């Protein structure tokens, strides 16, 4: 086999691992978010655009970055810390989303509610608090799936 074919094989393998990693993480988060929205009365009547769709998109984009970071880490503790940091970052981005989403019925209403830059971050603390409370099972599921599949999705680099 030529070096060029070997390089292409490695690239396709890495791309497949990345796509699988993103799909698994976003799928778990999307499924649990949907289930929680169905189970919690205040969220039952909300559209998918409030919680489920943004969390899937945020998780998907975050998983792309997380995959690149995790596959370079050797220790389990460092990988777990990277997963937790990605979880907190997702909650912060989700808090910004909620702040922007709040009162976005019309452009005039949105402009009236968002007059200062702090209006874009006012729901971050609530997102972090409730995200840790409601998101802990999701973090455990994602962590368990990533741990079980790490041999294939994010193999540890060779020591050397």
Higher pLDDT among residues 33 and 98, named by residue = 33
How far is residue 125's CA from residue 146's CA, in Å, rounded to a whole number?
Answer: 27
Mean pLDDT of the chain: 86
* Out of 84-98, 126-140, 145-159, least confident range: 145-159
- Whether the per-residue pLDDT at 113 is higher than 80: the answer is no
Give the tens place of pLDDT for each residue, 10-41. 899 999 999 999 999 999 999 999 999 999 88
Tens-digit pLDDT profile for residues 46-93: 888 889 999 999 999 999 999 999 988 888 899 999 999 999 999 999
Q: What is the pLDDT of residue 152?
A: 85
The pLDDT value recorded for residue 114 is 66
* Residue 7 pLDDT level (bands cut at 50, 70, 90): confident
Predicted pLDDT at 146: 87
Distance set, CA 34 to CA 27, 93, 105, 111, 138 (Å) = 10, 18, 23, 30, 12
Return the domain boundaries, the chain: 3-153
């Amino acid at each position: 086999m030529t070096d060029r074919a070997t390089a292409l094989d490695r690239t396709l393998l890495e791309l497949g691992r990345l796509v699988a990693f993103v799909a698994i993480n976003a799928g778990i988060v999307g499924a649990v978010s949907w289930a929680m929205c169905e189970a919690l009365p205040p969220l039952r009547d909300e559209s998918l655009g409030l919680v489920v769709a943004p969390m899937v998109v945020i998780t998907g984009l975050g998983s792309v970055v997380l995959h690149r970071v995790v596959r370079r880490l050797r220790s389990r503790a460092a990988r777990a810390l990277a997963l937790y940091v990605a979880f907190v970052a997702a909650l912060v981005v989700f808090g910004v989303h909620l702040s922007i989403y709040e009162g976005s019925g019309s452009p005039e209403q949105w402009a009236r509610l968002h007059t200062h830059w702090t209006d874009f971050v006012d729901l971050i603390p609530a997102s972090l608090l409730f995200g840790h409370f409601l998101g802990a099972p999701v973090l455990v599921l994602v962590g368990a799936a990533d741990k079980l599949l790490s041999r294939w999705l994010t193999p540890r680099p060779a020591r050397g």
